[in-house]
Amino acid sequence: MRLRLPAERPKEPPTGYKIARLALSQDGARAGFTGVSLGAALPYGVLDEARCVYGRRHAAPHRRCDCGFHCVHEHATAQAFLCTAEHRGAALLRVTVLGAYIRFERGFRYARQRVRAVTVQPCRCGARASVLADAGWGRPGWRVVEGVCALCAGRRTSMRLAEFARLAGEGLTVTGVGPGSVPGSPSEAMGVPELVAEAALLQARLDVFQGELARLSEAE
């Protein structure tokens, strides 16, 4: 006799958290996501259904397979994944778990999801990311983008966070956070002191850039 797990029928779909890379379609008309582990080969949209990464015909999530979308219960658990070197360029996602799901101690494996909010991590220089620039790699038909400040974006193809949200659709919100801040906390919203500090930092970096440019001009 097989023992079946109890069926859950929540009044509201569960909420979960995960990390993913942000991506743009080759023609620049669509915005999506790629996973950071098993599902990295299958980009997905804001509202999407899971498919078996092994090409099997069963519906995800299957109990004898590890296919399906994955997320964790706690925001802090997902955020901790961003500390590793290979995940520094990823973003933090808040998702709604839809369809059939399997509950685990730390999270869910499930059939469908809606990405509700994306939090873009700070630029590698430490400034708040204001644009998404080409990361220099991708998947067939998709280019991965990462959060950078306007200065570090340079001449790379880039777009504003709001433009990515518009392309993704489904009411997605995309925000950037400064170093050391926690999404959803009061520090996420920049006030006058924070804006003044950001402006001073940009001005200092511009002075350095102008100095280097003047030195190169004199050398010629």
DSSP tag of 28:
S
Nearest to 69 by CA among 91, 49, 94, 55: 49
In angstroms, the Cα distances linking 153 to 130, 148, 156, 157 are: 9, 6, 6, 8
User: Could you tell me the mean pLDDT of each successive run of 10 residues in the chain, 220 residues long?
Assistant: 66 94 94 89 93 86 90 96 92 96 93 96 91 93 94 90 95 86 45 56 67 74
The token duo for 111 is: 């059939």
The sign of the dihedral angle between the CA atoms of 5, 11, 13, 17 is negative
Collapse the DSSP code of 20 into the 3-class scheme (helix H, G, I; strand E, B; otherwise coil) and give the result: strand
Structure confidence at residue 53 (pLDDT) = 81
DSSP tag of 36:
S
Residue by residue, DSSP assigns 107-161 as EEEEEEEEEEEEEEPPPTTSSPP-EEEEEEEEETTEEEEEEE-HHHHTTS-EEEH
The sign of the dihedral angle between the CA atoms of 184, 50, 112, 142 is positive
What is the distance between the alpha carbons of residues 73 and 176, in angstroms, rounded to a whole number?
A: 22
Amino acid at 121: Q
